[in-house]
Structure 1
Amino acid sequence: MNIIAKKLFKIVLKEFYSLNELEGEEFKEGLRKFKEKHPMTSAPRKNIRKHMDIKECRVEGGIYYRAKDKLRRSNKKVLFIHGGGFVAEAMPVHWDLCRRLARDTGCEIIFPQYPLVPESDAEGAHKMLMEVYKEFIKDSDSKDLTIMGDSAGGTFALSLSMLARDRGMKLANEIVLISPGLKMSDLNETEKKRAEYIKKQDQIIGVFPVDKISKLWYGKLELDEKRSDVGKGDLNGLPPITMFSGTHDIMNIPARRLAKRLKKEGHEHIYIEKKGGIHDYALDKKSKMEYDIMVSKIIGK
């Protein structure tokens, strides 16, 4: 990203964070106007299309992309669900990671552009994503499937797997969670103090209007339902879970809770925590160890 683009991005981000001053319907309307003023898309950019064959597909409720490396192919599939706080479309870094994964494993990337707030909510998004999930598992062996997501997409990777299990559907071989946006609730005193410290370090989620967007996102769902609080969902019968989280990410607090729970319940998992790591740090090209682990999970090592 060049200097001009960075400055423009900061201006837009500042405008978005100013919505924090609004409440209720005013916040919802302000968010709608912001998105109209700054239209977004999850479609892959030209530089991605140079390296990948892209096919746009449609299911009820939205579109998704099927992407393969132009040179390397295998039977592996990755359902990648991008983050964005349930409000933003995919960023270039999401497609950059997917391009590298396809290049190094030959996997086919299934990349949904799912419904967001304020136009939709958790129910609408899950309904659409389950349709994509059906396409993801079609004509494939479980051993060749990986479901992966970052931030908000990480919660989807977990909740979709739970819904698929409950419905008797085929499950992926591995779930990969990158800085999952798990729900922050019922913090103890130690966690509250740590949250205040992290907010000073976390320039992404620490200043994000989480509570206001969450209220729009949950809609009519019960607050303890897996689609709204996946961190408390039943882990029995789920595939092994690999999770990455950084200590300078406010979402590290619920990530640690989930990691402790996975260990306590004896669920097969890998938990990687980076000291000083920010939200979504594992998406960065510099996170070589984390990337190598992702590759190994896709190819089934």
Structure 2
Amino acid sequence: MKNFTLLLIILSINLSFSSIVNSQQMTDSSKTYIHSEKVSFKSQFFQKMAGIFGVKKIIEKNIRKNKLNQEPVKIPKSIQKNFEIDETNKKGRQIWTLKPKENVSEKVILYLHGGAYYYNISKYNWSFAETIINNTNATIVIPNYPLAPAATCYQVFEYVTEIYNELIEKYSSKNIILLGESAGGGLALGFAMSLQEENKPQPEQLILLAPWLDVTMSNPDILAVDENDKILGIKGLQLAGAGYAGQVELDDYKVSPIYGDLTGLPKVSIFVGTHDILCADVRKLKSKAKESNFSLNYFEYPKMFHIWILLQNLKEAKFAISQITSLINN
């Protein structure tokens, strides 16, 4: 029982196109996809158990009392066995570069993990990265970026900037993809906005999985989703967002990219479930993109919870990962 509770906590924070049924073109380069298949029993069961165990309150309590897993989980043996691993160190924190032992593609993915800026890499992040490499033969760079409350967005942006600068010196920016989930998705979008502001080369594309776009959690539409979200809570995320922002205003694009400028950014693809309170701001970004004629691919999974994609035994996760694979492989 205790292990299942821990599993729920970890998942909640870190957590081919031929069969698309309800997709429609927004512009020549934007696509909206609404998943039409019935929600799986496993997905329904997970959400039911999350509600029974009170995951929302547990997360809020852990953030408030700073009872957090801030050490990265050890790299699984399967990754150690099947891939080449290069571990470097920057400012006392690891950077892992994983790639296939042969037939390596030109694609390089900078993967920014989730965790409300407080939790570190979990085994589910490693497993997801492993699947993406197997599907694409891409190289994946995973930084152990600084975490709140010891670090704020200033330190995180500085750390990610140094890594990105090294990548564009070694690889063409046209082959670099920013992939972020949850808090890492918000970080990826905010970071791309900072690149545009500083007139630096953009990556080829951004892939954002249930991104956290506004740490203020002030969108009134969130309240309509909150009842169905059995994992994330408004108060817990507001606490985490304030800790990550530090002295930065909460509506600064670096911590809340929903308020930033989309002009000049590369193609963005977003995946989200409708039982995720972050869905409200993702929809808001979708509307903002449409109004400004910005290219954005939008993938919505009705009644799916926060970062379900990391639960790879779910049929919804398998389908979404096939879509992510297609985006990476063009």
Classify the TM-score, shorter chain.
0.7 to 0.9
TM alignment of 1:1-301, pairs within 5 A: 5-7=3-5, 9=7, 17-18=57-58, 20=60, 27=64, 30-31=65-66, 34-35=67-68, 40-60=71-91, 62-183=93-214, 184-188=216-220, 191=221, 195-206=222-233, 209-285=236-312, 286=315, 287-299=317-329, 301=330
d(CA) in 2 for partners of 1:270 and 1:19? 31
Q: Residue type matched to 1:187 in 2?
A: N
Identical positions, percent: 25
**Counterpart secondary structure, 1:104:** helix
User: What is the DSSP-based 3-state SS (H/G/I as helix, E as strand, rest coil) of the residue aligned with 2:227?
Assistant: helix
The 3 A distance-change label for structure 1 pair 90 and 14 is farther
- Native 8 Å contact 2:117 2:148 kept in 1: yes
Q: Which residue type is aligned with residue 219 of structure 2?
A: L
What is the distance in 2 between the residues matched to 1:11 and 1:250? Answer: 16
CA distance in 2, matches of 1:274, 1:153: 20
Residues 20-65 of structure 1: CA distance to partner in whole angstroms, max 9, x if unpaired? 4699xxx4xx31xx24xx5631542223212222111122463211
Give the Cα separation in 2 of the matches to 1:245 and 1:115: 25
More off after superposition, 14-23 vs 100-109: 14-23
Structure 2 unaligned residues grouped into runs of 5+:
11-52
Q: Which has the higher contact order (CA 8 A, sep 6+)?
A: 2
Q: Structure 1 residues 44 and 199, CA, compared in 2 at 3 Å: closer, same or farther? A: same
CA shift at 1:261, angstroms?
0.8
Mapped partners of 2:271, 2:152: distance in 1: 26
Distance 2:6 2:278 in 1: 27
Q: Deviations over 1:101-147 (max 9, x none)?
A: 11121111010111111211111111111111112222222331111
Paired AA for residue 128 in structure 2: L
Q: Secondary structure at the match of 1:209?
A: helix
Q: What amino acid does structure 2 have at the position aligned with 1:173?
A: E
- Counting matched residue pairs gives 284
- After TM superposition, give the deviation of residue 236 of structure 1 in Å: 0.6
Per mean C-alpha deviation after superposition, the further-off stretch among 125-134 and 47-56 is: 47-56
Compute the RMSD of aligned alpha carbons.
2.6
Equivalent residues of 1:110, 1:136 under 8 A apart: no
State whether residues 70 and 120 of structure 2, in contact with CA within 8 Å, keep that contact through their aligned partners in structure 1.
no
Q: 1:89 to 1:185 in 2, by over 3 A?
A: closer
Q: TM-score, normalised by structure 1?
A: 0.85
Give ranges in structure 1 of 5+ residues lacking alignment. none
Measured in 1, the distance between the counterparts of 2:194 and 2:71 equals 29
Looking at structure 1, the residues matched to 9 and 276 of structure 2 have their Cα atoms a distance apart, in angstroms, of 23
